Copies of this chain bind each other. A is one copy, B any other.
């Protein structure tokens, strides 16, 4: 793995995925129910969330982040997460993940037998203090504790790290790639199952995405398996494409692009599921998604969220004539 410097960090080296062509299959994890809904104040009724999960499942989605195990007083929008996990587990093959900020939340995820728990870790020191109330290294310690608790419980719940502000931070500005690399190595060493790099504030560009994934892949290997991109500056899909070119094949997205960046009022949230699904369909990459069903679900969810800012382009432009049979 190359030289190691005095801090135990592999010297900067890059690895390009051996196959320069794109993958044949990719996964879109629907995060609208968590990342999307947590950023709007309206509380979607549980019955509608259940319909959303069922609809996404019927449209072929097999990974859904259904909510977050945070105290309901902090995010009342997500207070029904347990119920959603229970329902998601009735749908064969559906991998339901939940966001978990600490050990208490992790215990709830283990008890609920969630497929996966997503633990956030900020690469930005300032963002970590603001969002997690402790520096990144303390969060890494907590992650280690959570891995041990999961293992001690004999739980099958997977532990995934969402490495946020990996491409920059609205509070701190620049985030050094070597710091991202250090944290990726730390959580891999802590025994997590997988890691994703998140452009929480929409600062990433495709060249940056390619470089950062290439930097971290030698340390994380196949465990680095998710890209989470916000479309704040119109680069969400370009960033997905750049990550795919270095072998990443799993991406977070929100139906109708709901959500947003609290630091850029009015700016759009995550890449929209339907626009990403179209890009992958157009490139001949299998996602298992039935585009017509996905668009019908988009229309239904848009109806529930009237008055909120919705994004994406496919709802208006429709599929190209060349893809309409797909």
Chain A residues close to B by CB (< 8 Å): 22, 168-170, 173-174, 201-203, 205-208, 231-238, 240-242, 261, 264-268, 272, 275, 278-279, 282-284, 312-314, 316-318, 320-322
- Closest chain B residue to A268, Cβ basis: B313
Q: How many copies does the complex hold?
A: 2
- Closest chain B residue to A232, Cβ basis: B317
Shortest CB-to-CB span from A282 to chain B, Å, is 4
Residues of B within 8 A of A313 (CB): 231-234, 267-268
Shortest CB-to-CB span from A181 to chain B, Å, is 18
Report yes or no: B267 in contact with A208, Cβ–Cβ below 8 A: no
Residues of B within 8 A of A207 (CB): 22, 282-284
Interface class of chain A by DSSP: loop
Contacts A173-B321, A208-B283, A237-B237 supplied; 7 other A-B pairs, CB < 8 Å: A168-B321, A202-B317, A233-B317, A234-B314, A235-B237, A267-B313, A267-B316
Given A267-B317, A313-B233, A322-B174, A241 contacting B206 (CB threshold 8 A): yes
Residues of B within 8 A of A234 (CB): 231, 234, 236-237, 272, 275, 279, 312-314
What's the Cα separation between A313 and B233 when bound, in Å? 5
What's the Cα separation between A45 and B232 when bound, in Å? 33
Residues of B within 8 A of A232 (CB): 313, 317
- Closest chain B residue to A204, Cβ basis: B282
Report yes or no: B268 in contact with A235, Cβ–Cβ below 8 A: no
Shortest CB-to-CB span from A199 to chain B, Å, is 10
What's the Cα separation between A173 and B322 when bound, in Å? 5
Out of B203, B231, B316, name the residue touching A320 (CB < 8 Å): B203
Which of A208, A234, A313 counts the most chain B CB atoms within 10 A? A234
- Closest chain B residue to A240, Cβ basis: B238
Residues of B within 8 A of A320 (CB): 168, 201-203, 233
- A-B contacts, 15 listed (Cβ < 8 Å): A22-B207, A202-B320, A207-B284, A231-B234, A233-B314, A234-B236, A234-B272, A234-B312, A234-B313, A235-B279, A238-B238, A238-B279, A241-B242, A264-B316, A264-B317
